[in-house]
Amino acid sequence: MSDFKSEINNYITSTFKFEDELLKGVLEEQKNAGGPMMNIGADQAKFISLLIQTSKSRNILELGSYFGYSSIWIGRALQDLKNLEANDELAYSLTCVEYSSKQAEIVKNNLDKAALAKIASVVNLDAKSYLAKLVEEKPLSLDMIFIDADKVNYPHYLEQAAKLLKPGAILLVDNVLGLHEYEVLEENTEDKRIKAIQEFNSQLANSDVFNGTILTVHAGLAMAVKN
């Protein structure tokens, strides 16, 4: 992140103090594990929470959960919506798809710690196979999909999202400007992930099914509404 961007980001997060001890603990766990810090930013997560609240998205799918940082944010927003609506006839669910069995177990534990086990579940499968199954069994059933898994499959995930989201439902996709910052600007990149992201962006921009844009938060968040 550029110095200016990280300064602005620090200003926002220190002003709003988005994270409680539990979320800070998940980030600490992630850091101690020694891998990359691949979670979305707190400001991004807050924006997604606000979208869930305003759009009343009750059935949500997340692809790629890692340590469960974004899953906890989404699960909490869903729980808040459920409490607000207080209607036993409505169903609420977050499904987190994570193909690493080690990460899936960690996500499960963290959702438990956040008291979200009743509303959020973890599926330890490859997103591609899970989506194929869902398209078959429950087409047009979702209110929101948040994609943050392997970038090479972004174009495929867009195609499947069109079959799974209800009309008026929301698609959110992280890293649509790059892996760290703005690698999509490299026209002749050899990186398969960046090429796939560029293809995804062009498909989204020219789609008859989705009406979308890209927000320049962190490494870019695409937001689109299904027609």
Ligand X SMILES: C[S@@+](CC[C@H](N)C(=O)[O-])C[C@H]1O[C@@H](n2cnc3c(N)ncnc32)[C@H](O)[C@@H]1O
HEC profile for the chain? CCHHHHHHHHHHHHHHCCCCHHHHHHHHHHHHHCCCCCCCCHHHHHHHHHHHHHHCCCEEEEECCCCCHHHHHHHHHHHHHHHHHCCCCCCCEEEEECCCHHHHHHHHHHHHHCCCCCCEEEECCCHHHHHHHHHHHCCCCEEEEEECCCHHHHHHHHHHHHHHEEEEEEEEEECCCCCCCCHHHCCCCCCHHHHHHHHHHHHHHCCCCEEEEEECCCCCEEEEEEC
Binding residues for ligand X restricted to 82-101, rule: CB under 6 A: 97-100
Strand partners, 59: 93
Per CB under 6 A, the list member of 12, 18, 19, 38 interacting with ligand X is: 38
Per CB under 6 A, the list member of 42, 61, 64, 74 interacting with ligand X is: 64
Q: Smallest distance from the beta carbon of 134 to ligand X, in angstroms?
A: 13
Q: Smallest distance from the beta carbon of 73 to ligand X, in angstroms?
A: 8
Per CB under 6 A, the list member of 59, 65, 95, 198 interacting with ligand X is: 65
Q: Smallest distance from the beta carbon of 102 to ligand X, in angstroms?
A: 9
| Matching residue, tokens 């086990």 | 117
By CB under 6 A, residue 154 contacts ligand X: no
Q: Site size for ligand X, by CB under 6 A?
A: 20
By CB under 6 A, residue 39 contacts ligand X: yes
- Six-digit token pair at 176? 């649509």
By CB under 6 A, residue 150 contacts ligand X: yes
Per CB under 6 A, the list member of 49, 57, 70, 201 interacting with ligand X is: 70
Binding residues for ligand X restricted to 204-223, rule: CB under 6 A: none
By CB under 6 A, residue 155 contacts ligand X: no
Residue number of the CB closest to ligand X reads 64
Q: Residue 171 and residue 51: Cα distance in Å, rounded?
A: 11
By CB under 6 A, residue 10 contacts ligand X: no
Binding residues for ligand X restricted to 103-122, rule: CB under 6 A: 103
Q: Smallest distance from the beta carbon of 32 to ligand X, in angstroms?
A: 15
Q: Given the rule CB under 6 A, which residues bind ligand X?
A: 38-40, 63-66, 69-70, 97-100, 103, 126-128, 148-150
